[in-house]
């Protein structure tokens, strides 16, 4: 299946553009997508994961206008999905 990923802010530089299309196997989820995006690049893995190996809390992923929860069924992807990836903005 093919999933399109659109990058915003600092992720444009990290991934080298505004968007990319990733080819994944059937039944793939968000963790599979992130692994495919990073490959073996340590810089990418450090940008996406904390020291315990969990996705950093300051990253927002959305699909169809809704937050994607990394480890539940909502994280399953389908052919043609578009995933938005951007850093969460903190402040007050």
Q: Which structure tokens are listed for 49?
A: 């994961």
Kindly report, residue by residue over 32-88, the tens digit of the pLDDT: 999 999 998 999 999 998 999 888 888 999 998 888 876 565 578 999 999 999 988
- Where along the chain do its domains lie? 2-87
Question: Sorting pLDDT into bands at 50, 70 and 90, what band is 13?
Answer: very high
Two tokens, residue 37: 């995006």
- CATH topology classification for 2-87: Ubiquitin-like (UB roll) (3.10.20)
């Amino acid at each position: 299946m093919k999933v399109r990923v659109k990058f915003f802010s600092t992720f444009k530089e990290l991934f080298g553009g505004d968007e990319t299309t990733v080819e994944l196997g059937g039944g793939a989820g968000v963790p599979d997508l992130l692994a495919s995006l990073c490959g073996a690049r340590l810089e990418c893995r450090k940008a996406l994961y904390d020291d315990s190996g969990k996705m950093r809390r300051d990253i927002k992923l959305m699909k169809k206008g809704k937050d994607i929860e990394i480890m539940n069924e909502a994280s399953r992807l389908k052919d043609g999905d578009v995933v938005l990836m951007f850093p969460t903005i903190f402040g007050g």
